[in-house]
Amino acid sequence: MRAGSLIVLCAIFCATFVGRAAVLAATIAGGEDTEKGVSQKRQSAQCIDGALADSIKKEIDWIQSQKADLADRKSTLEVLGRQVEKRTMQLEELNKALTARLAEEDASLDKNKAEVSAIYSQMKPAAASGIIVGMDPDFAAGLLLEMNEEYASAILATLPPDRAYAITVLMAGKAAKK
């Protein structure tokens, strides 16, 4: 009877083992819900409900809104960056045009100054100094620098001393810049 009991117990043990294996296989394979599988699903669904679920949802919503805000800011910055680059190129073109125009004006001014200087060089020093005394000192200094040194010194000699000094200082500054 002992041998018969052992065989029966072994058969029961094997049947239980095979049944348990079938339940586990079905759970792993996603097959039919077993009692234990259903209770585990219910427990996992109940783990994140209520205040915790609301908190997590709020965090997810906030993160998504931050991502959307960052994407908007990035696109806005890209648009602004392109506008800045475009404006920079326009300003560089304007700067080149203004530099060219300034060079033309300087050349024209130098030519005009040389012509005016030639006219004043034809005058007597006393007559030229009578006109130069009323001029802007900076312009007078530039005009005298264009003249022959002897004639310029003759005009300076006929100017009032304070005016001659101011023009001479400006002439020295202009000569140093050249």
pTM summary value: 0.44
Select from 61, 79, 108 the last residue of a domain: 108
Mean pLDDT, 10 residues at a time, the chain of 178 residues = 69 76 75 52 60 86 93 94 96 95 89 85 90 90 89 92 92 81
Question: What residues contact residue 143 under an 8 Å CB cut-off, 6+ apart?
Answer: 113, 116, 117, 120, 132, 135
Task: For 112-142, give the DSSP string.
Answer: HHHHHHHHHHTS-HHHHHHHHTTS-HHHHHH
Residue 114 lies in a domain: no
Question: What residues contact residue 128 under an 8 Å CB cut-off, 6+ apart?
Answer: 120, 155
pLDDT for position 37: 53
Domain count, the chain: 3
Residues 23 and 56 grouped into a single domain = no
pLDDT for position 85: 96
- Closest among 127, 93, 84, 109 to 174, alpha carbons compared: 109
- Closest among 177, 173, 123, 114 to 144, alpha carbons compared: 114
One-letter identity of residue 89: M
Q: What's the domain range around 87?
A: 51-108
